[in-house]
Amino acid sequence: METGLTWQSYPPEKLLVERFHISTGFHPGQRDIIEQLVHGKRILAIQRTAWGKSLCYQIASLYYPHLTIVFSPLKALMRDQCQRCNTVYAIPSAIVSSDFSEEENQATMEQVVAGNFKLLFIAPERLDNAGWQKYVIRMRISMIVIDEAHCISTWGHDFRPHYRRIVRLLSALPKNVPILALTATANKRVEQDVLQQIGEVTQVVRGTMQRPNLHLNVETLIGDQEKLSYLAEILPYYPGTGIIYTATKSSAEMLATFLIQRGINADYYHAGREDTVRQDIEQKLMSNQYKVVCSTNALGMGIDKPDVRFVIHYHIPVSPIHYYQEMGRAGRDRKVSWCILLYDPTDVTIQEYFIRNERPEGKYYDVVLSLLRMNAQGLRESNLMLTTGLSQKATRTILADLEEQRFIEHNPKSRTYTAISRLGQMDFSAYDEVRLQKLQELSNIQNYVQCDTCYMEYLTTYLGDEPGSHCRQCGRCRKTNFPPVTPSRRIQGTVAYFLEEGFLPRIEKRPEHEAGWSLSFHGNSRTGRLV
């Protein structure tokens, strides 16, 4: 593997053309970020979707002799970026994730320690793994990248407790190790929280959030009858491939079933499908084998397809930030693309339900803490899940909150949690404040729908841009871009029949376990539903 290049003999402009096959030059700010990283600086880059944030660390990594670790929240995103680095950019890269067995991950880590890779993509959850603890102390780390850095903030739209583990790693590194935190969706409050986590000395590079090639519009449609009729009428006329986002898994399945019956090549994607099925859908989407994929937000950040020509939201998203993130999948090649939100006021109740039930009830915190206090040797996350019946997400949320308030501590080596002897009760006031903030954000996306000014200006101002920049092409700025759509009676009749007779939710047949001992539980291994 090549050692680090020198800035003088191989300037980034030369790398951009010869290694990354980009002849149009850097976006404003990209070269500066790369140069700052090469000089060992810490940077929080807040740039619009499709700006080319990944390019900054990919190029910067080539100037360092050793490893760049990239923390990323989604396996789909890691797979896509790792494959591109290996096959297109000739940057030796690897992934450590639950897609692979422990033996495969350990073999990869041995190769990492041996210096055979420039980039290592890994999820923050792996920081709890005993194998990681064994190998990380042997790694020669040149740079750390935190992708989707808003996940580190409790105020971020996609807070993930395990992102806080990264902070511990950063504190153990020399101060001259460069750090790049990347996000497209951090308002001022999230920005300050991220800075507090990764270090106040971090330089903030904030760019405009404008996406000039995206045409935004809102269609007010009531119920599945009107929405499906609208989609059946317009989808055949949209060029290329697109994504339709839904708020629920069942809606994604229903929508895909309807489109397939209409002769449209479609599929559905959500976290409930097997990993192998999701990977197959991702590959087919990337190679344009679908007209449309109907998905929950599981595909929100996990795909970097340059030529998505349209993104449609079947339900109102939970916030303007979520909407900007998901619509940002469209037009990453800078060509004209379409982003439509189908608005039914009653859909707001779906998102309200998710917000109010995002954190477990207080009684479950008491249950988990009591179990830990009764087991002095500590318990693993898996033990707590099996004993309480709580989901992995709920268990992780409770453990992260208890650890943050110093009721418990985590032992990375044994992967156990133990109770700390202290008085007092959990303080839920901060979490209540976050819930109220998210309800306000839901109100803000309703304001977007009802605003009488430029749709793009509303979103970009919300994300920190100065007001006053009209896009001149959205449904508010230029209504002629979105002529009225009146579905034919034939289509309306087809939809009515489908909703009444043609669609029954598909319940997968699954083997039922007999009573007895379990060899494993789902999530601890790659065995899936069967052991």
Is residue 166 within a helix (H) or strand (E), and if so which, with residue range? helix 164-172
Q: How far is CA 133 from CA 106, 290, 413, in A?
A: 12, 42, 7
Q: What pLDDT is recorded for position 318?
A: 95
* Beta strand ranges found along 140-248 (DSSP E): 141-146, 179-183, 203-206, 214-220, 241-245
Same fold, 12-206 and 214-348+453-502: yes
Residue 414 has pLDDT above 50, yes or no: yes
pLDDT tens string 302-341:
677 899 999 999 999 999 999 999 999 999 999 999 999 9
Q: What CATH number should be reported for the domain whose range is 12-206?
A: 3.40.50.300
Mean of pLDDT over the chain: 89
Residue 128 has pLDDT above 60, yes or no: yes
Please give the radius of gyration of the chain, using alpha carbons only, rounded to the nearest integer.
24
Q: What pLDDT is recorded for position 320?
A: 95
Closest to 409 (Cα-Cα) out of 423, 397, 420: 420
Mean pLDDT score, 56-85: 92
Distance between CA atoms of residues 227 and 229, nearest Å = 5
Mean pLDDT score, 382-407: 91
> What does the domain layout of the chain look like in residue ranges?
12-206, 214-348+453-502, 358-419
pLDDT tens string 455-472:
999 999 999 898 888 999
Q: How far is CA 354 from CA 106, 268, 273, 347, in A?
A: 37, 21, 20, 12
Mean pLDDT score, 136-160: 86
- In eight-state DSSP terms, residue 196 is H
Residue 180 has pLDDT above 60, yes or no: yes
Mean pLDDT score, 174-179: 92
SS3 183: strand
pLDDT tens string 205-230:
999 999 999 999 999 999 999 999 99
Q: How far is CA 359 from CA 73, 247, 356, 394, 400, in A?
A: 19, 18, 7, 7, 11
pLDDT band of residue 520 (cuts 50, 70, 90) is low
Q: What pLDDT is recorded for position 302?
A: 61
SS3 266: strand
Residue 524 has pLDDT above 90, yes or no: no
Q: What pLDDT is recorded for position 504?
A: 57
Q: What pLDDT is recorded for position 3?
A: 64
Place of tokens 């898994």: 249
What's the full length of the chain, in residues? Answer: 531
Q: What pLDDT is recorded for position 153?
A: 83
Range name among 94-98, 128-132, 249-253, 446-450 with the lowest pLDDT average:
128-132
Provide the residue type at 408 as one letter: I
Distance between CA atoms of residues 326 and 318, nearest Å = 11
The more confident residue out of 279 and 43 is 43
Mean pLDDT score, 399-426: 88
Q: What pLDDT is recorded for position 522?
A: 52
Mean pLDDT score, 73-101: 90
At 309, phi and psi to the nearest 5? Answer: -90, -20
The more confident residue out of 145 and 100 is 145
pLDDT band of residue 514 (cuts 50, 70, 90) is low
Q: What CATH number should be reported for the domain whose range is 214-348+453-502?
A: 3.40.50.300
Residue 393 has pLDDT above 90, yes or no: no
358-419 topology per CATH: Arc Repressor Mutant, subunit A (1.10.10)
Mean pLDDT score, 138-144: 95
Q: What pLDDT is recorded for position 40?
A: 94
Range name among 85-94, 311-320, 345-354, 392-401 with the lowest pLDDT average:
392-401
| Dihedral over Cα of 36, 40, 41, 47: its sign | positive
Q: What pLDDT is recorded for position 531?
A: 41
Q: How far is CA 272 from CA 201, 268, 276, 296, in A?
A: 41, 10, 12, 10
SS3 267: strand
Q: What pLDDT is recorded for position 308?
A: 96
Mean pLDDT score, 487-502: 90
Mean pLDDT score, 134-159: 87
Q: What pLDDT is recorded for position 507?
A: 45
